[in-house]
């Protein structure tokens, strides 16, 4: 199911990319340089979506909240638990300690636990998720 969902997302992005490029090329502005530049921006964005710079970027994209610039640690934990890992698992010790430190600093526990890309990547690297 995950593979078909991934394929559907790729198709959706591909169709959107083609539509965007088509719209750019149909604009009345005849500046070829401007059209090519805009096309390159769209293609670069599509490439970055499917070819993350690092494993941490890939994990960030998997847990990114739609239309937001942060990822859900809460969802990451749920997935780890679904694979049989528990909070007291020694492999997750550093990560759970870091979560506790961050939660101690938070004021509102009702919104879930989210981190922006840089913090998420640091969190994943330090906690050993990527090892």
Q: What is the dihedral of CA 112, 118, 124, 126, to 10 degrees?
A: -120
Q: Kindly indicate whether the domain formed by 55-127 is annotated with CATH number 3.40.250.10.
A: no
Domain boundaries, the chain: 2-50, 55-127
The set of residues, in sequence order, having a beta carbon less than 8 Å from that of 65 and lying 6+ positions away, is 71, 72, 114
In tens digits, the chain (131 residues) has pLDDT values of 444 455 455 445 567 777 776 776 666 665 665 766 777 777 777 666 666 677 788 788 888 888 888 998 888 888 888 888 888 888 888 888 888 887 777 665 556 688 888 888 887 775 565 55
- Give 72's strand partners: 114
Token digits of residue 69: 């610039």
Give pLDDT tens digits for 34-64: 766 777 777 777 666 666 677 788 788 888 8
Angle between helices 55-63 and 117-127 (to 10 degrees): 120
The reply to whether the predicted model has a pTM over 0.95 is no
**Would the CA dihedral through 107, 112, 118, 121 be positive or negative?**
positive
């Amino acid at each position: 199911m995950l593979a078909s969902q991934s394929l559907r997302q790729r198709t959706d992005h591909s169709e959107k990319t083609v539509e965007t490029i088509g719209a750019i090329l149909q604009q009345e502005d005849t500046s070829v340089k401007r059209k090519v530049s805009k096309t390159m921006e769209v293609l670069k964005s599509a490439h970055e979506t499917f070819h993350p710079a690092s494993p941490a970027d890939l994990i960030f994209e998997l847990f990114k909240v739609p239309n937001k610039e942060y990822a859900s640690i809460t969802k990451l934990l749920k997935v780890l638990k679904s694979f049989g890992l528990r909070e007291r698992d020694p492999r997750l010790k550093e990560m759970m300690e870091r979560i506790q430190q961050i939660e101690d600093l938070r004021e509102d526990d009702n919104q879930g636990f989210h981190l922006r890309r840089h913090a998420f990547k640091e969190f994943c690297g330090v906690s050993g998720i990527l090892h």
